[in-house]
Amino acid sequence: MDCSPVSVEENRLESLTSWDADWSKLRVVVTGISKTGFSVADTLAELGAHVVVVAASDDDEARANADTLKIVGVQEVILGQDTSWVLPLVDGLPAELVVTSPGFKPSHPLLAAAAEAGIPIWGDVELAWRVRTKAGRKTAEWITITGTNGKTTTTTMVESMLQAAGLRAIAAGNIGTPILDAVRDPEGYDALAVELSTFQLHWSESLAPVSSVCLNLAEDHVDWHGSFEAYAADKAKIYENTKIACVFNAEQIETERMVENADVQEGCRAVGFTTGVPSVSMVGVVEGLLVDRAFIAERKDSAAELATMSDIGDLVPRHLVANAAAAAALVLAYGVTPADVRLGLQNYHTGDHRIQPVASSGGVLWVNDSKATNPHAASASLASFKPVIWIAGGLPKGVNFDALVQEHAKRLKAVVLIGADSSALASSLERHAPEVQVIVTRAEGGRHADADTLRGDAVMAEAVGIAASLAADGDTVLMAPASASMDQFSSYAHRGQAFINAVRELLESQASADKES
């Protein structure tokens, strides 16, 4: 019999599959102390584990969180960039488990040390799945959503459809409510709409959702994963162990291949979604109607109406239709009715910073899509408008912009570049759209800093002013950066709000000037 320490630890971890399992005195290192790390440490302390938290942050918020965690029973909190690189002991002994926050790359020295020592590494989602079942509390089914783009929209659509069916449901995971907070809700939920990033999927092994989807796949987060192939492999994990339906994008063969290669539960179906006319076992669009040819008995020669385009919204670009079709397939697999799908879409609000019309003045439409943090997302926005004055740039995350520029060069009237270093995007524009006017904001250089919170606002005000000087009747000014925001803004939401504020101030100033004249 193998009685090595690693074998014993692994056997114990295998038994930890419910809240009521014996988690007491399990030695755990938790990385991170923000929303995810805090929820992990708080949960483990409640379970009786012995926890040490390690975080690079050492600001007021981190120290306040540390104080709270110590009150609830966390053994030790170690803060500071220098100390976050070292794998600490717990109770003077090596950890039996590391639970990591998504921001820590697999190559991070602490995680690399854990892997080398044979210490299992989980993410918060893996922990949440294992503790989801508790005596006396409702156990929710999970509907899981990933993709390079459209995750949040599809997840919140699923939430709205489930709630329209009268179910107690919430969107959680890589969106809003931490998954562990949702799982620990005293009353419990009927279903969870769980948005999962590749970071979270990378550290997840045990999930068995009722239905799952990878909405699309494009180059993103190569800096975290190390390669596009590794990124795609983590996305594909969304389908593993699915019980009822693996939903795939019928317009992107890569997602169908993921389903074909997935190890699913017996009886699980492959269901496609499309923005065109659906084949059998798909949800799609016929003559302006969202229709189902997957979950009806007569699917071989007919389709059931789910909703109209007006049920989805006033401004319905193609990718929003795709999101609605995917969401419908996911909830129909769960057992929601077509009437609930329609009502869920009617109740749904797209949300801020996602192809959000901000203003229309002088025949010019101003649109905020700050959530377009990569080329694939920006492509969906650009495809919806023409001609476009495009405000773009930011932190590129190691991606290539050539395909994006090549695809949309003909719809670009001008480009206004923001970002601390948008040289990669500028180079793509020079090569593939040489006739398009490109203007770089003077405030381009320099990172956003807490001590200078107006810097990003000043950058955006300048960009909006330049765009206004170029715009004419029939144009759309689209802020879809195709890059992350953290070089000049605190978040994509800050960037989007800066755009909204700048547009409103500009139009108010113009209106005031017109009155005076």
| Domain limits, the chain | 5-127, 138-347, 356-516
Q: What is the pLDDT of residue 41?
A: 97
Q: What is the pLDDT of residue 3?
A: 38
Q: Check: CB of residue 355 under 8 Å from CB of residue 160.
A: no
Q: Check: CB of residue 299 under 8 Å from CB of residue 259.
A: no
DSSP string, 5-41: HHHHHHHHHHH--STTS--TT-EEEEE--SHHHHHHH
Q: What is the pLDDT of residue 126?
A: 97
pLDDT digits (tens, 9 = 90+) for 317-338: 888 899 999 999 999 999 999 9
Other CB atoms within 10 Å distance of the CB of residue 469: 11
Q: Check: CB of residue 468 under 8 Å from CB of residue 503.
A: no
E strands present in 340-386: 356-361, 364-368
Decide if 5-127 and 138-347 have a common fold. no
Q: What is the pLDDT of residue 220?
A: 61
Q: What is the pLDDT of residue 176?
A: 76
CA 453 from chain centre, in angstroms, equals 25
Query: Which of the listed CATH numbers 3.30.1360.10, 3.50.50.60, 3.90.190.20, 3.40.47.10 matches domain 356-516?
Result: 3.90.190.20
pLDDT digits (tens, 9 = 90+) for 146-158: 998 889 999 999 9
What 3-state class would DSSP assign to 392?
A: strand
- The binding site for ATP consists of 147-153
Which CATH code for domain 138-347?
Answer: 3.40.1190.10
Q: Does residue 270 or residue 86 have the better pLDDT? A: 270
Q: What is the pLDDT of residue 409?
A: 95
Residue type, 203: W
| pLDDT-wise least confident of 3-7, 56-60, 90-94, 95-99 | 3-7
C-alpha 214/C-alpha 256 separation (Å) is 9
User: Where residue 20 falls among pLDDT bands split at 50, 70, 90?
Assistant: very high
C-alpha 19/C-alpha 47 separation (Å) is 7
Q: What is the pLDDT of residue 105?
A: 87
Q: What is the pLDDT of residue 2?
A: 37
User: Is the domain 5-127 a CATH 3.60.15.10 member?
Assistant: no
In the chain, pLDDT over 90 holds for what percent of residues?
Answer: 74
Mean pLDDT computed over every residue of the chain = 90
Q: What is the pLDDT of residue 10?
A: 60
Q: What is the pLDDT of residue 356?
A: 84
Q: What is the pLDDT of residue 131?
A: 97
User: Where residue 8 falls among pLDDT bands split at 50, 70, 90?
Assistant: very low
Q: What is the pLDDT of residue 384?
A: 82
Q: How far is CA 40 from CA 51, 123, 469, 505, in A?
A: 10, 9, 50, 42
- The binding site consists of 147-153
Helices (H) and strands (E) counted in the chain, each on its own, are 19, 20
Q: What is the pLDDT of residue 517?
A: 61
Q: Check: CB of residue 143 under 8 Å from CB of residue 212.
A: yes
pLDDT digits (tens, 9 = 90+) for 411-427: 999 999 999 888 899 99
Q: Does residue 491 or residue 10 have the better pLDDT? A: 491
User: Where residue 355 falls among pLDDT bands split at 50, 70, 90?
Assistant: confident
